Amino acid sequence: MTPSSIQAQKSKRLMVFCGRSVPGLGEKIAETLHIKLGDIENKTFSNGEIYVRYRENIRGSDVFLIQSTSDPVNENLMELLIMIQAARLASARRITAVMPWMGYCRQDKKSAGREPISAKLVADLLQVAGADRVLTMDLHQGQVQGFFNIPVDHMTALSIISGYFRLKQIPEEEIVVVSPDVGGVKRAKKFAEKLGPKVDLAILTKTRPEHNVAEIMAVIGDVKDKVAIMVDDMIDTAGTMKAGAETLTGMGAREVYSACTHAVLSGAAYERLEDSPIKEVVVTDTLPLNPEKSAGKIRVLSTASTLADTIQSVFLDESVSRLFEGDDQLF
Amino acid sequence: MTPSSIQAQKSKRLMVFCGRSVPGLGEKIAETLHIKLGDIENKTFSNGEIYVRYRENIRGSDVFLIQSTSDPVNENLMELLIMIQAARLASARRITAVMPWMGYCRQDKKSAGREPISAKLVADLLQVAGADRVLTMDLHQGQVQGFFNIPVDHMTALSIISGYFRLKQIPEEEIVVVSPDVGGVKRAKKFAEKLGPKVDLAILTKTRPEHNVAEIMAVIGDVKDKVAIMVDDMIDTAGTMKAGAETLTGMGAREVYSACTHAVLSGAAYERLEDSPIKEVVVTDTLPLNPEKSAGKIRVLSTASTLADTIQSVFLDESVSRLFEGDDQLF
Amino acid sequence: MTPSSIQAQKSKRLMVFCGRSVPGLGEKIAETLHIKLGDIENKTFSNGEIYVRYRENIRGSDVFLIQSTSDPVNENLMELLIMIQAARLASARRITAVMPWMGYCRQDKKSAGREPISAKLVADLLQVAGADRVLTMDLHQGQVQGFFNIPVDHMTALSIISGYFRLKQIPEEEIVVVSPDVGGVKRAKKFAEKLGPKVDLAILTKTRPEHNVAEIMAVIGDVKDKVAIMVDDMIDTAGTMKAGAETLTGMGAREVYSACTHAVLSGAAYERLEDSPIKEVVVTDTLPLNPEKSAGKIRVLSTASTLADTIQSVFLDESVSRLFEGDDQLF
Amino acid sequence: MTPSSIQAQKSKRLMVFCGRSVPGLGEKIAETLHIKLGDIENKTFSNGEIYVRYRENIRGSDVFLIQSTSDPVNENLMELLIMIQAARLASARRITAVMPWMGYCRQDKKSAGREPISAKLVADLLQVAGADRVLTMDLHQGQVQGFFNIPVDHMTALSIISGYFRLKQIPEEEIVVVSPDVGGVKRAKKFAEKLGPKVDLAILTKTRPEHNVAEIMAVIGDVKDKVAIMVDDMIDTAGTMKAGAETLTGMGAREVYSACTHAVLSGAAYERLEDSPIKEVVVTDTLPLNPEKSAGKIRVLSTASTLADTIQSVFLDESVSRLFEGDDQLF
Amino acid sequence: MTPSSIQAQKSKRLMVFCGRSVPGLGEKIAETLHIKLGDIENKTFSNGEIYVRYRENIRGSDVFLIQSTSDPVNENLMELLIMIQAARLASARRITAVMPWMGYCRQDKKSAGREPISAKLVADLLQVAGADRVLTMDLHQGQVQGFFNIPVDHMTALSIISGYFRLKQIPEEEIVVVSPDVGGVKRAKKFAEKLGPKVDLAILTKTRPEHNVAEIMAVIGDVKDKVAIMVDDMIDTAGTMKAGAETLTGMGAREVYSACTHAVLSGAAYERLEDSPIKEVVVTDTLPLNPEKSAGKIRVLSTASTLADTIQSVFLDESVSRLFEGDDQLF
Amino acid sequence: MTPSSIQAQKSKRLMVFCGRSVPGLGEKIAETLHIKLGDIENKTFSNGEIYVRYRENIRGSDVFLIQSTSDPVNENLMELLIMIQAARLASARRITAVMPWMGYCRQDKKSAGREPISAKLVADLLQVAGADRVLTMDLHQGQVQGFFNIPVDHMTALSIISGYFRLKQIPEEEIVVVSPDVGGVKRAKKFAEKLGPKVDLAILTKTRPEHNVAEIMAVIGDVKDKVAIMVDDMIDTAGTMKAGAETLTGMGAREVYSACTHAVLSGAAYERLEDSPIKEVVVTDTLPLNPEKSAGKIRVLSTASTLADTIQSVFLDESVSRLFEGDDQLF
C-alpha cells in the first residue's frame, strides 16, 4: 500500500562563512572547529554595490556569518546584511550573525534632542534582513542586548586580557586598574577583581576648574608608585588613553599599560599610542589591525577559540554561560 | 450638484487620564495644564481582574495616560496596559504612556545566563497594547530608550534636585558628590557639574580584601571635612545608602545628604534611612510615598510642572529638548 | 580533506517548568510524564518586581510552562510573561504556555463603548513575550482561540466531570442539566448529552417583571422532582449558583448539584456555596483552592493526566483531538 | 528671508466608495450623507481576475469602502481586499472597511481538530491589505471583534427589527421570543427585553431520544397560544427556521414570525420559508436579496441610515456608542 | 533518579495535499513521489463559503499544498489561504504553497495612478495566512519573488517546452523565435538560446502609424521563410497570438507555432487559436484545460516531474538550482 | 468650569532635508519650493561611523529627505537610514525618503541560486528605519514598487529627455530609438512614442554565433541612414553603450545619441563614452556627476522641478499622477 508521507531522519549541519572585514579571524575560527570556511563569493562592483553569492548548498543548515562591522563600517555592515538575506532566501535553517565588534554600538541612546540611536537601528537592520541570533563581544553597554528581539550571546574577552596580565606576575598590591572615564568604572572594577582582591581602582575624569578654562584630567584614587592598567571596551582615537597615561605618569605611576577588547584605532590612534608613556597596549583581534603600524607596543590576543567554542555550543544546544562561568573560577 | 466628499476642519484635542498609582501627581499635572483629569473608571473585581472604562468620548484625541509602575508593580502595569488598549479600541488618535517611574527598568540586560531582560519585556508589552509614545524620567540607564520602537521623551529631575541643593548655599569647594556604586559615577559627575566647577567627586565601592572575607565598603576620592551628597537614580531598600553614609561619616565627612529621583523605598527602607547618619533625603514624587513614614528626614520635590510642560510641548509639536536646554544654562 | 560542515543527529527534548500559581498541579503533571519538574528560580523582590531564572540549560528544548493566571491574576500573568521571555532569550526551541485557567477570558468583547477586550490583550502579551503555542482548558468562549495567531490546543474537562456524575448512577430520566444563564445553554446541552439521551435541559434566566422592579430568577424548562445539575465553565462569586439553587429548589427540584471546570471562587464564594441548598459542588484543579475553606461540599477532580497526555502528544507530534474523540465515544 | 518650512491648514475629507455586492445600500448611505458615491472602476477580466481603480484623487481622505462579503463571498471579499490595497497605495489617510455582513463569520473557532478559523483569517486578510478600521453589524459572536488588532465599530439592527414588531401592537404578554437553537438564547433574551418586560422566552433544541434514532426538535419553555417570534443573527438555508416553525405550530403557537439581520438565504431557503407556517420573515438589507424570490412573505428593513450615522460619527470623532445608547432607552 | 527531560529522536515527514483547481496534477506529483495524496476535505457550502479540514494528523509535518489560482481565481485563492491557515493551526512544521500558476501575477506594478498591485496583495495574503515558502513557475516577471518575505523557489518550464521542439528536428537556421510583445523579448531570447546558437529572434510590436489611426502589428526582425515560434509565459485571451500569427504569415513565415507555460485560455481563446494560422500550440498543465475544447491543436506537456523533484529537494534540503543547472547544459 | 481637554487648530508643515550625496539637487528643489533646506548636521567620524542631528525642531512635520544612494552607495544608504530613524525618534509626523536614484535596484530578482535580492533588502531597510513613503524615479523595473509595503511615488524623466530631443527637430521618420538590450525594449518603445508615431524601433542583442566563439552584438531592426538614439534607464560602465554605438555606426546609422535618466558612470565610463562614436550623451542630475570628466559630450538635464512639484503635491494631498498625465498629452 502506498504511504501518505515520506519519513526521513533529521540531522543538523553547521556551516561558517566569513565576510571581508576579518578574514584572518574567520580562518582561525574554522580551523578550531576543524572545518573549512564555507565557499562564498563577496565582491564590490565598480559602482560601489556589493554582491554576494553562496557557492555551496546551505539549505537547512545552521549558518554562522562572521563579520566585524569595522571601518569601512557601512560597507561591512551592508555586506553582512546582504549575506544574511541571501542565506535566508537560500533556505538556511538558522542564521547567526557573529559580530566580534559591532560598529555604531556607542550611539546607544539620545544624549541630545533629534539624535539617532544608531545601535538600535543596526539591531533593526540585522533583524529585518533575517538574522535569527546574534553573537557579539564586549558591547559598550550590555543594555544593547535589549535592542534585539532575537537572542544575543554576549561574550567577553576580559578573561583573555586579564589572563595575559597575570602572566606578568606583578604583585597584586602594586597594581591599580584605572577607568579612563566615569562611564567605565564598572568594567574596570570587574577587571580588577579578575586580577586579585588586593588590586586597587582609580578613575580618570575630565574637569574644568572654572568657567571658560580648559578641561584638565584628574585622577580619583591613588596611583603613586603603582603599575597602572587603563582598561576600556575599545580604543578609538586613543586621545583619552594618551592623556590618561600622561596624567598617571605625572601622578607618580611607575608603569602604565593600556588594555581593551576592541582596537578601533582610527585617525591618529597608532601615532598617539606610540608617542605616549604607555608601555604596552593589549588588544584582541575582533577588528583587523593595520599590520604596518601595529608593530611596536601593540600586543594582540586572539578571541578565535572563545568564538569557536561559543559557536559550537550554540550549534549543539549546550550552555554558553557555562563557558564563562568556568573562566570566572580560575581567578 | 452633490459633492463627492464632505470637508471638515481638523482640530486636535489633548486629554489626560490617570491610573490609580499616583493620583496626586495626576491631579497636579492637570491643574498645571488648566484642565480637569479625564473621567475614567478603574476598578478591580473580587477575583483580582482589573476593569477600565473611559467615561467620556476620546475619539480622535491626543490622550496622555499617567501611571507609575510602582509597587504593586504588576497591578499598576496591567492597569496601564488595559488603559492603553481600551483607548486604542476607542479610537484615540495618539496614546502616550506617561510613566514618571518605569518599574523593572533595572533588569535591563542579562548578567547571568537564562535571565530575562524584563525592561525590554515591559517595552514590548506597552507597544503591543498600543502605546504610540512613552514619556518617562531618569531611567536607570538611558539605553532603555532603545528598547522601544516608538519615540521616548526622556526627562530628568536632576536640575530640580540640584536647584534645591543650591538654595542651601553651601560653598562649592566644601561639597563632594558621591556615587554610591561604580555604575553611577557618570550621573554623579553630571550632578556635581550642576552644583559648580569646584565640586568634588568620590565613589563608594564594595570590595573584598581577601577570598572568603566579608565585603567592606571603601571610598575612592577624598571626603574628609566635606559635605557629602550621595546621588542616585533611585533608592530602593536603602541598604547601600545607609552603609554609604556610615562609611562617609567614618572617613570624616562633615555632613551626609542623600538624593534621588525615584523613591522606591521598599522593605525596611524608611527605617534604614531614619537610623542612618544621613541628614536629609531629597526625592521627588514620581512614586507615591508612604505618608506615615515619610514625615522625618524625607524631602519631596514635585515633578508635576516638568511633566505638564513636556505634555504640552508634545501636544503642540514644540521642542521638548528646549525645556531641558534652558535649564542647563542656569548652571 | 577538511569538510566544510559539521553534521550532528537532531533530537528533541521535553522540559516542564511551573510557575508559582499551581505548584501542585505542576508536580502531578510531571509525575504523570515520569520526569522531574525543571529547575527554575521564581522570586519577588521587596519592591514587588518578579525575577525568574532557569537553573538548567534549556537550549533547543521543547519547553512547557505551566501557570494558571488565577488570583493574584496580574502577578501570575506577569510571572508567566517573564518566564516566556527568559526562555526565548535562553534559546528554547519552542515555548508552550500551559494555562489551565486563563484569567481575563470573560472580558472577550466590548459590551459597552470604550471598554477593553482584555482577553485579546492577554493573547497579545503572551505572543509578544514569545510564546509559540498555548494550551488551555474550557475557555469561557471558544472564540478566544481566534485571538491568537499561534496554535491553541483547547482541552475540555467536561468528560472528567460528567464521568464523575455517571458514577453516581442516577437514572437518566431523573436528571435535568441546568444552564445558570442564557449564555451557557450550549455548554449545558453538551454536558447533558454526555450524561445520556434522556437527560433534560433547563435554563435559568434573570428577568424584571416590570420597569423599576427588582430582577427575579426564572426557570425555562421543567425541573420538578428532578436531580438538577447546574453546569458552567467557572464559578466566580457563586452568587448566581446560590440564587439558582434556591430557585430550582423552590420549583421542586429533588436535589441540586453545581459543577464547573474553573473554581475561581472569589469574594464570599465559599460561604455562599456552603449556605446554599447545593448538595455538592464539583470542580477541577485548574485553579488552586483555599484548603481551609474547601473542606465541605467541594469535590475537586484532577486535570493533571489530561494535561500531561496533551503535552506528550504535542511533543511527539501526535494528534491531540484524538485524545478527546476517544472520550466522546465512551458516552 | 526664506522660511525653512511651508505651513498649510489641515482639513479632512470623507469619501464613500462601494463594491459590487450591495450597490443599492451604498447609494442609500451616500444619499443620507448628502454626497455622491465616489467614482471607482471595478471590473472582472475574462480570466476571472478582478481589477479596481479609483477614478478620483483620494490622497489624504478618510475613505469608507462599503462591501458585504455575500455570495459569491470569495469574489466579494477579494474585491474588497483589492479596493483596500489600492486605496492604501493611493495614499488615503484612513481606510474603513464597512462590511454590513461579514462572510465566514460563523467559522469562528475550531470545533474539530484540523479545522480553520476562517473568520480570523478574514480579519487577518483585511488588516494585511491595509484596513485601518472595520465597521460591521450583528456578528454571529461579538468575540469576533477580538480577531482584529484594529478598532471595530460593531452595530446592531436589533432595534430596527424590534421597532418594526412594536408597530404591530401585539400585547406583550402574548409574545414569546424563540431562540432557534441553544447558541442564540442570549440574543433572543436581548430582543425580548426590547419588546417589553412581560415578553416570554423559549428555546428550540434538537435532541435524539435514543442512540441510533433520528434527531427531533423540542421546545424548552411555553409557547401555547402565543405569537412566537424566532429571532437569529442570520437565516442561511432556512432549514432550522422551517422546522422550528412547524414545531412551534405543533406545540400550539398561534402565529409564528421569523426575524434576523442577515438574509443569507442560500440553497432552497426562499422555497423553505414560503412552504413553512411562518407568517412573515423580517430581515434587513445587509445582503442583497433575490428580487424575484423575495416578493412574498419577506419584509426588508433598511440599515442605511444607521450605517450612515455611524460613518459620520467616525469621521467627525463623535461617540458611536451614543447612537445605540439612545436607542436602548426607547425600550 | 527521575530525569528532568524526555528525549526523542527527531524525524521529518513529507505530506502533499491538493486543492480543487488541479486535481490531476496533484495526483501525478504524488505518484512521482511514490506517496498517496494526503486526505483532506474541501467543500463549498450553499452560501458560497469554503470549508476545509485535514482528515489525517499533520502535526510536525513538512506540508506541501498544491493549488493553481486559476479561474475561478478568487475561489481557488481563498481555498488555498484556508488550507494554509488550517495547516498552521494544526501545527504543521512547515507549509509550502505550491502554485504552478499564480493568478494576478500580471498586476505587478502601478501603470496608472490609484491602481492596485494585486500580485503584491496575493503575496501578502499567502504570508499572513501562514505560508512558510512558495514554489511557483515562470512568473510573468521574476521580480515578483521580491514581493515575498519568505523564500520562493521559482521553477521554469522553458526547458520542457524547448525539449519538445528539439524533438521536431527543425534545422536551427530555419527557426525564428518571436516575442509577441516588447515586454517579452528577454524570455524569447532565452528560449532561442535553448534551441541553438543559430536560432534568430524577432519581435512583434503594436504601432500606430499616425494619430487617430488604428494600431497595426509590425515585426522587428526577419521571419521570411522561417519556422516562427511565438513564445510567452502565458496565453490568456489569445488575441495577440492570433494577430501575431497572421502578421508572421503575412510576412512570409513558413510555419507558425505558439508556446507558453501557462494556458490561461479565457474568453474566446480556444476559438481564436483554432481559427488562427498557428500550426500547434504547446502548453503545460500548470492550469487545468477545458478537455472538450483542447482536443485540436493544443499539445499539453506535464510539469509534474519537475514539481515533484523540486518538492523532494526542498524536503531533503538539497539544492534546487542544481535541478535547473543540469538542464541548461543540455542545450 | 474647567474643561476636560485642550483644543488646538491643526496645521501641517513641510520641511526638506538633504543628505550629502546630491547637495546641488537638494538646493534646487528647495529653491523651487521657495523654502530653505532644513538645518541638519551630517558628519562621518574618523572611525567611519556616520552621525546625524536635526538642528531645528521637526515635531509634527511632513519631512522629505533627499538622498540618492549613489556611489559610495553603502555610505549614502546608511546616512539616509540614520536620517530616517532620527526623524522618527524626533517625532516627525510623516517621513518621505526621496531617492532620485535607488542603488541596488538592478539586483531585483534571483537569477541564480543563493543570490540576494538586494533591492528588496533596501526596501526592507528603509521601512524598518521608519520611512512612511518613498519617492523615486525611473526604477530599473517598475515591479520594485511592490517590494515596499508603503506607498511609492514613481516618477519618470522620460518626458524631460524626449522634450530635449524634440528641440533638435530631427524629422520623425529619420529617427530610430534603440534598446541597448533585450530587457529594455518596452522602455525604448515608450520613448519612441513620445517622439512621434513614425519613429522606428530597433534592438541590440548579444549573440554567440557558435559554441566557444565570442559574443558579438547584433541589431534587430533597421538603422541604416537613421539618427539612432539608444535609451536606457541608466548608464553604468558604458560598455554596452560604446559597443552599441560602434555596431550601429557599422550598420550605417548616420548619427548615434545615448540617453538615460541615471548617470551612474562607474569605472571607465567617462572614457568609454568619450572614445565612442556617440555624438551626445543626455542624462539627468539624479546622481552627482564628476565635474572634471563630464565636460565633453555629456548634457545634464535637471529633474529638480519635477521632484519639487511631486513633493508639493504629496504634501497638499493633490494628485501626483496628474503631473505626468498632462505631460503625456504634449507628445
Of the candidates C190, C191, C192, C188, the one whose C-alpha atom is nearest the C-alpha of residue C205 is C188
Residue with cell 505651513: D7
- CB contact under 8 Å between F197 and E210, yes or no, is yes
Note whether C48 contacts B73, CB cutoff 8 Å.
yes
Indicate the residue of D143, D319, D321 with minimum beta-carbon distance to C109.
D143
Mean pLDDT over C142-152 rounds to: 96
Q: How many CB pairs under 8 A join D and F?
A: 59
Q: Of residues E216 and B58, which shows the higher confidence score?
A: B58
Instruction: List the one residue out of F94, F78, F101, F90 whose CA is nearest residue F39.
Output: F90
Chains that touch B (3 or more CB pairs under 8 A): A, C, D, F
Any residues with CB less than 8 A from the CB of C300 and at least 6 apart, and which? C263, C283, C284, C285, C289, C294
Collect all residues of chain A within an 8 Å Cβ-Cβ radius of residue B205. Answer: 189, 201
- Cα C53 to Cα C40: distance, rounded to the nearest angstrom: 6
End-to-end CA distance of chain F: 66
Cell 557579539 sits at which residue?
A136
Catalytic residue among F36, F186, F198, F206: F206
pLDDT digits (tens, 9 = 90+) for D46-95: 999 999 999 999 999 999 999 999 999 999 999 999 999 999 999 999 99
Q: What is the pLDDT of residues A271-324, one digit of tens each?
A: 999 999 999 999 999 999 988 887 789 999 999 999 999 999 999 999 888 777
Cell of E161: 517546452
* Mean predicted confidence (pLDDT) in E302-317: 96
User: Is C70 near chain E, with CB under 8 Å?
Assistant: no
Scan for cell 528560449, then name that residue: E191
The three cell numbers of residue A226 are 603603582
pLDDT at F330 (0 to 100): 30
Q: What is the pLDDT of residue C329?
A: 34
Q: What is the pLDDT of residue B209?
A: 73
- The whole-angstrom separation of Cα E186 and Cα F140 is 14
Closest approach of D16 to chain F, Cα-based (Å): 17
B268, closest residue in chain C (CA to CA): C46
Beta bridge partners, C255, equal C227
Q: Least CB-CB distance to E14: which of A6, A57, A90? A: A6
pLDDT score, position E293: 83
Q: Report which secondary-structure segment, H or E, holds F125.
A: helix F118-129
Strand order in the sheet with F152-155: D6-9, F11-18, F62-66, F94-99, F133-137, F152-155
Plot region of C196 (φ>0 → left; ψ -120 to 50 → alpha; else → beta): left
pLDDT for residue F325 = 58
ipTM comes to: 0.95
Average pLDDT over residues D221-248: 97
Q: Position D186: which residue type?
A: K
**A 133-172: CB under 8 A from C:** 133, 151-152
pLDDT reading at A1 higher than 80: no
Q: Is the pLDDT of residue D101 over 80?
A: yes
pLDDT tens digits, residue range D302-331?
999 999 999 999 999 998 887 775 443 332
Closest chain E residue to the Cα of D118, Cα to Cα = E82
Rg (CA), chain E: 22
Alpha helices of A38-184 — where are they, by DSSP H? 73-89, 118-129, 158-166
Write out pLDDT tens, residues E155-214: 999 999 999 999 999 999 999 999 999 999 999 999 999 999 999 999 999 987 777 778
Residue D116 CB partners (closer than 8 Å, separation 6+): D107, D110, E51, E52, E53, E82, E85, E86, E89
Predicted pLDDT at D154: 95
C267 contact B CB<8A? yes
From CA B101, how far away is CA E1, in angstroms rounded?
A: 48
Compare all CA atoms of chain B with the CA of F128 and give the residue at the minimum distance: B149
B46 Cβ under 8 Å from any chain C Cβ: yes
Rounded Cα gap, residues B246 and F300, in angstroms: 77
CA D319 to chain centre: 21
Best to test chain A binding among B107, B158, B203 (most A CBs inside 10 Å): B203
Residues of F with CB below 8 A from D9's CB?
A: 9, 11-12
User: Which pLDDT does position E325 carry in this prediction?
Assistant: 58
B59 close contact with F: CB closer than 8 A: no
Q: Return the pLDDT at B325.
A: 58
d(CA C68, CA C98): 8
The whole-angstrom separation of Cα A18 and Cα A67 is 6
Cis peptide before D291 (omega within 30 of 0): no
Q: E55, E91, E95: best mutation site toward chain C, by most C Cβ within 10 Å? A: E91
Residue type, position B79, single letter: E
Q: What is each CA distance from E131 to A159, C131, E87, in whole angstroms?
A: 46, 19, 9
Q: Do the chains contact at E205 and F201, CB–CB below 8 Å?
A: yes
* Residue B107 distance to chain F (closest CA, Å): 24
What mean pLDDT comes out for the span B271-281? Answer: 96
- Average pLDDT over all residues of chain D: 94
Q: Is B234 helix (H, G, I), strand (E, B) or coil?
A: strand
| CA–CA min distance C129, chain D (Å) | 17
* Omega of the bond leading into A72 within 30 degrees of 0 (cis): yes
Q: What is the pLDDT of residue D325?
A: 58
**Residue D95 in contact with residue D88, Cβ under 8 Å?**
yes
Backbone angles phi, psi at A157, to 5 degrees: -105, 10
Exposed/middle/buried for residue B301 (C-beta within 10 Å: 0-12, 13-18, 19+): middle
User: Do residues A301 and A160 lie in contact, with contact meaning Cβ atoms separated by under 8 Å?
Assistant: yes
Are C259 and C283 contacting, i.e. CB atoms less than 8 angstroms apart? yes
Best B185, B204, B212, B231 member to test A by mutation, with max A CBs in 10 Å, is B185
C-alpha cell of residue E224: 521570411
**Cα F90 from chain centre:** 29
Q: Domains (ranges, CATH) in chain F?
A: 14-155+305-323 (3.40.50.2020), 158-301 (3.40.50.2020)
pLDDT for B14: 97
User: DSSP letter at D172?
Assistant: G
The more confidently predicted of residues B291 and D172 is D172
Give every strand in the sheet of B94-99, ordered side by side: B152-155, B133-137, B94-99, B62-66, B11-18, F6-9
The reply to whether residue D145 touches residue C117, judged by beta carbons under 8 angstroms, is yes
- SS3 readout for chain C: CCCCCEEEECEEEEEEEECCCCHHHHHHHHHHCCCCCCCEEEEECCCCCEEEEECCCCCCCEEEEECCCCCCHHHHHHHHHHHHHHHHHCCCCEEEEEECCCCCCCCCCCCCCCCCCHHHHHHHHHHHHCCCEEEEECCCCHHHHHHCCCCEEEECCHHHHHHHHHCCCCCHHHEEEEECCHHHHHHHHHHHHHHCCCCEEEEEEEECCCCCCCCEEEEECCCCCCEEEEEEEEECCCHHHHHHHHHHHHCCCCEEEEEEEEECCCCCHHHHHHHCCCCEEEEECCCCCCCCCCCCCEEEECCHHHHHHHHHHHHHCCCCHHHHHHHHHHC
User: Which residues in chain D have their CB less than 8 angstroms from residue C177's CB?
Assistant: none
Residue F7: its H or E element: strand F6-9
Top pLDDT among B128 and E10 is at: B128
Place of cell 518613498: F134
For residues D108 and C109, what is the distance between their CA atoms, to the nearest angstrom?
A: 14
Closest partner residue to A33 (CB to CB) among C6, C57, C90 is C6
Who has greater pLDDT, A56 or A292? Answer: A56
Mean pLDDT lowest among A294-308, D166-180, D246-260, F311-325: F311-325
Contact C61 E5 (CB under 8 A): yes
Cβ neighbours of F286 in A, within 8 Å: none
The answer for residues whose C-beta is within 8 angstroms of residue A123's C-beta and 6 or more apart is A144, A147, A148, B146
pLDDT at residue C328, as a whole number: 39
Instruction: State the cell numbers at C38.
Output: 525543571
**Contact between chain F and chain A (3 or more Cβ pairs less than 8 Å apart):** yes
Q: Do F4 and B34 touch (CB under 8 A)?
A: no
Residues in chain B closer than 8 A to C105 (CB atoms): none
Q: Whole-angstrom Cα distance, residue C113 to residue B309?
A: 31
- Across the interface, whether the CB atoms of E117 and D89 are under 8 A apart is answered yes
Q: Which residues of A are catalytic?
A: 206
Q: Which residues of E touch F145 (CB under 8 A)?
A: 109-110, 117
To the nearest whole angstrom, how far is the Cα of F194 from the nearest Cα of chain D?
25
Partner-chain contact C4 A322, CB within 8 Å: no
At A177, which amino acid appears?
A: V
**Distance (Å) from the C-alpha of residue E144 to the closest C-alpha of chain A?**
14
* Cis peptide leading into residue A288 (ω within 30°): no
- For CA atoms F59, F61, F67, F69, the dihedral sign is positive
Least Cα separation, residue E123 to chain C (angstroms): 18
How is F154-208 classified by DSSP, letter by letter?
A: EE--HHHHHHHHHTT---GGGEEEEESSGGGHHHHHHHHHHH-TT-EEEEEEEE-
C212 or F198, which is more confident? F198
pTM exceeds 0.90, yes or no? yes
Measured between beta carbons, which residues in chain D are less than 8 angstroms from residue E266? 45-48
Q: Which position has the grid cell 586579585?
A: A196
Query: Neighbouring chains of A at 3+ CB pairs within 8 Å?
Result: B, C, E, F
Min Cα distance C8 → chain E (Å) is 12
pLDDT digits (tens, 9 = 90+) for C293-319: 877 899 999 999 999 999 999 999 998
Question: Is the per-residue pLDDT at E255 higher than 50?
Answer: yes
Q: What one-character DSSP code corresponds to residue B251?
A: T
CA distances from C65 to B49, C139, C149, D56 (A): 22, 18, 19, 55
Chains in contact with C, counting 3 or more C-beta pairs less than 8 Å apart as contact: A, B, D, E
Measured between beta carbons, the chain F residues lying within 8 angstroms of B58 are none
- Written as nine digits, the cell of D18 is 462601494
Q: Which of E9, E12, E35 sits opposite A2 (nearest CB)?
A: E35
Q: Phi and psi dihedrals of D62, rounded to 5?
A: -95, 100
Q: Which residues on F lie below 8 Å from A116 (Cβ)? A: 51-53, 82, 85-86, 89
* Nearest residue, CB atoms, D12 vs list B2, B8, B57: B8
Stretches in chain F below the pLDDT threshold 50: 326-331
Helix (H, G, I), strand (E, B) or coil at E313: helix
If you average pLDDT over every residue of chain C, what do you get?
94
pLDDT digits (tens, 9 = 90+) for E75-104: 999 999 999 999 999 999 999 999 999 999
Higher pLDDT, C67 or E8: C67
